[in-house]
Amino acid sequence: MAGAADLVAARAEVAVVEVEEAVQGYIVSIVRATRESPSLSLGVSPRGAAMLLWAAKAWAWLAGKQFVTPDEVKAVARPALRHRVVLRPEVELEGVTVDGVLGGILASVPVPR
């Protein structure tokens, strides 16, 4: 069972996972796209962008990597962001879901190479 010291150590290890500027830009582009989406009345905040970055770093760390790729960002984007956006009521009545909107954004934002 993990104790407080284990959690502090894990957080320190996650903190040193590297994120290239291109991947940081990718996160910013995803967040910006949520703010510009006509399906959303509320997009992701700067704090949400920071949490997406931390989630991607943690996911990479759990996989034994020392750096974040766009694949880690994509893997955690929906769970990290779905509660940070609000669908427009008329879109929700049409059956659109937050996960569907986020999926469309992830499909449309160019992935860095």
**Is the Cβ–Cβ distance between 25 and 112 less than 8 Å?**
yes
Q: What is the pTM of this model?
A: 0.93
For residue 2, pLDDT over 90 is answered with no
pLDDT at 43 (0 to 100): 98
pLDDT tens by residue, 70-86 = 999 999 999 999 999 99
For residue 3, pLDDT over 90 is answered with no
| Spatial distance between the Cα atoms of 62 and 44, rounded to a whole number of angstroms | 25
CA dihedral 38, 22, 51, 37 (to 10 degrees): 0
pLDDT tens by residue, 6-33 = 999 999 999 999 999 999 999 999 999 9
Cβ contacts of residue 52 below 8 Å, gap of 6+?
27, 30, 31, 44, 73, 76, 77, 80, 81
Q: Name the β-bridge partners of 87.
A: 40
Burial of 83 from C-beta contacts in 10 A (0-12 / 13-18 / 19+):
exposed
pLDDT tens by residue, 41-75 = 999 999 999 999 999 999 999 999 999 999 999 99
CA-only gyration radius of the chain, Å: 15
Burial of 8 from C-beta contacts in 10 A (0-12 / 13-18 / 19+):
exposed
Q: Cα separations (Å) of 14 from 42, 60, 62? A: 29, 8, 9
Domains present along the chain, CATH in parentheses? 4-108 (1.10.8.80)
